[in-house]
Structure 1
Amino acid sequence: MPNPVASLLSSRRFLPYFMTQFFGAFNDNVFKNTLLLFVAYAGAGELAISSTLFINLAAGLFILPFFLFSASSGVLADRLEKSALIRKIKLLEILIMALAAIGFITQSYLVLLLLLFLMGTQSALFGPVKYALLPQQLRPKELVTGNALVETGTFLAILLGTLLSGFIASADNARLIAAAGVLSFALLGYFASRYIPRAEPSMTATKPFRWHPVRQTRHTLLIAHKDPVIWLTIMTISWFWFLGATYLTQFPNFTKDYLRGGESAVSCLLALFSIGIALGSMLCERLSRHRLELGMVPVGSLGISIFGFGFSSLIPAQLPQFETLTAFVSARELWPLFINLLLLGASGGMFIVPLYTLLQRRAKPDERAQVIAALNIYNALLMVCSAITGIVCLTILHFSIPQLFMLLSVVNTVVFVYLARKLPVYVVRFLLTVILRLCYRIRLTNLHHIPNQGGALIVCNHVSYLDALLLIIASPRLIRFVMESDYASFPAIRPLMKRAGVIPIDGKRPSEMKNAFTQIQNALDMGDLVCIFPEGRLTTDGEIGSFMRGINLILYRAPSVPVIPVALKGLWGSFFSRYHKGRACSRFPRRFFSRVELEAGKPIPAEEVNHQILKNKIAELRGDQL
Structure 2
Amino acid sequence: MKPAQPHQFRLLRQRRYAPFFFTTFLGSMNDNVLKFSATLLLTYQLAVPWLPTTLVGPLLGAIFIAPSLLLSATFGQWADRCDLGWLIRLGKTLEVLMMALAAWALWQRDVPLILGCVLLCGVHVALFSTVRYAYIPQHLQAHELTGGNGVLEMGIFLAILMGTLAGGLLISPEVGGPWVVGLAIVAMAVLGRLTSQWVPSTPAVAPGLTIHWNPVAETWRNLRRCHEDRLMFTSMLGISWMWFFGAGFLAMFPALSKEVLNGQEGVASFLLVLTSLGIGGGALMCEGLSRGKVELGLVPLGALGMAVFAVEMSMAVHALEQAKALAGDRPAWTAAQFVANPAHWRFLVDLLLMAMSVGLFSVSLYAQMQARAEPSHRARIIAANNILNALFILLSAVVVGGLSALGLGMGPLFGALAVVHVVACSLAFAWQPIFVRQAVSWVRHRLGSQS
Tell me, yes or no, whether TM beats 0.5: yes
State the match for 1:412 in structure 2. Answer: 421
Counterpart of 1:118?
Answer: 120
Counterpart Cα distance in 1 of 2:428 and 2:223: 23
On the 8 A contact 1:19/1:192 being kept in 2, the answer is yes
Preserved contact between residue 75 and residue 369 of structure 1 (Cα < 8 Å)? yes
Q: Is the 8 A contact 1:298 1:419 kept in 2?
A: no
Structure-1 residue corresponding to 2:37: 34
Partner secondary structure for residue 199 of structure 2:
coil
Which of the numbers 317, 323, 337 marks the counterpart of 1:318? 323
* Alignment of 1:337 onto 2:347: yes
Cα offset, 1:226, TM superposition: 2.8
Specify the SS of the correspondent of 2:376: coil
Q: In structure 2, how many angstroms separate the alpha carbons of the residues matched to 1:82 and 1:68?
A: 21
1:113 shift after superposition: 0.2
1:368 equivalent to 2:373? Answer no
Higher relative contact order (CA 8 A, sep 6+): 2
**Equivalent-residue separation in structure 1 for 2:27 and 2:95 (angstroms):** 9
Pairing partner for 2:195 from 186, 189, 192: 192
Amino acid at match of 1:377: I
Greater displacement, 132-141 / 219-228: 219-228
| TM-score, length of structure 2 as denominator length | 0.93
- Coordinate RMSD, CA, aligned: 1.7
Question: How far apart, in 1, do the equivalents of 2:357 and 2:439 lie?
Answer: 15
Asked if structure 1 preserves the Cα contact closer than 8 Å seen for 2:5 and 2:144, the reply is no
Contact 1:75 1:370 in 2 (8 A): yes
| Cα distance between partner residues in 2 of 1:405 and 1:17 | 37
Instruction: Give distance in 1, aligned partners of 2:9 and 2:274.
Output: 24
Residues in 2 aligned to 1:2 and 1:291: alpha-carbon distance in whole angstroms: 10
Secondary structure, counterpart of 2:447 in structure 1: helix
The answer to whether the 8 A contact 1:276-1:349 is kept is yes
Of 281, 285, 288, the residue aligned with 1:286 is 288
- Match among 130, 133, 137 for residue 132 of structure 2: 130
- Determine if the alignment matches structure 1 residue 179 to structure 2 residue 182: yes
Residues in 2 aligned to 1:437 and 1:110: alpha-carbon distance in whole angstroms: 61
Contact 1:82 1:198 survives alignment (8 Å) = yes
Matching of residues 160-171 of structure 1 within 5 Å = 160-170=162-172, 171=174
* 1:221 Cα deviation after fit: 2.6
Are residue 389 (structure 1) and residue 394 (structure 2) matched?
Answer: no
The structural deviation recorded for 1:387 is: 0.9
Structure 1 distance, partners of 2:207, 2:25, is 30
The match for 1:434 is 446
Taking only the aligned residue pairs, the percentage that are identical comes to 36
Q: Is the contact made by 2:169 and 2:175 (CA closer than 8 Å) also made in structure 1?
A: no
- Measured after TM superposition, the shift of residue 38 of structure 1 is 0.5
1:154 is matched with which residue: 143, 153, 156? 156
- Structure 2 counterpart SS, 1:339: helix
Runs of 5+ unmatched residues, structure 1:
440-626
Bigger Rg, structure 1 or 2: 1
Q: Name the counterpart of 1:216.
A: 218
Q: Is the 8 A contact 2:43 2:56 kept in 1?
A: no
- Does residue 400 (structure 1) correspond to residue 409 (structure 2)? The answer is yes
The aligned residue for residue 523 of structure 1 is: none
User: Does the C-alpha gap of structure 1 residues 252 and 54 become closer, same or farther in structure 2, counting only changes over 3 Å?
Assistant: closer
How many Å apart are 1:402 and its aligned residue? 1.8
Structure 2 gap segments, 5+ residues each? 325-329
More helix by share: 2
Q: CA deviation at 1:287?
A: 0.8
Residue 42 of structure 1 and its aligned partner are, at CA, apart by: 2.2
Distance (Å, rounded) in 2 between the aligned partners of 1:43 and 1:202:
47
- How big is the shift at 1:100? 0.3
Count how many residue pairs are aligned between Structure 1 and Structure 2: 436
* Match in the other structure for 2:327: none
**Residues 1:73 and 2:75 are matched in the alignment:** yes
Q: Contact between 1:83 and 1:198, CA under 8 Å: does it hold in 2?
A: yes
Higher strand proportion (structure 1 or 2): 1
Q: Where do 1:9-88 residues align within 5 Å?
A: 9-43=12-46, 46=48, 48-88=50-90
Deviations 1:407-462 (A, max 9, x none): 111111223434554123201122123323433xxxxxxxxxxxxxxxxxxxxxxx
SS in 2 for 1:318: helix
| Counterpart Cα distance in 2 of 1:60 and 1:303 | 30
Question: For 2:429 and 2:216, how far apart are their aligned partners in 1?
Answer: 36
TM normalised by structure 1 equals 0.68
Q: 1:328 aligns with which of 338, 354, 366?
A: 338
Cα distance in 1 for residues equivalent to 2:445 and 2:267: 38
Structure 2: how far apart are the matches of 1:8 and 1:193? Answer: 16
Q: 1:613: which partner in 2?
A: none
Residue aligned with 1:366, SS: helix
The answer for the alignment partner of 1:560 in structure 2 is none
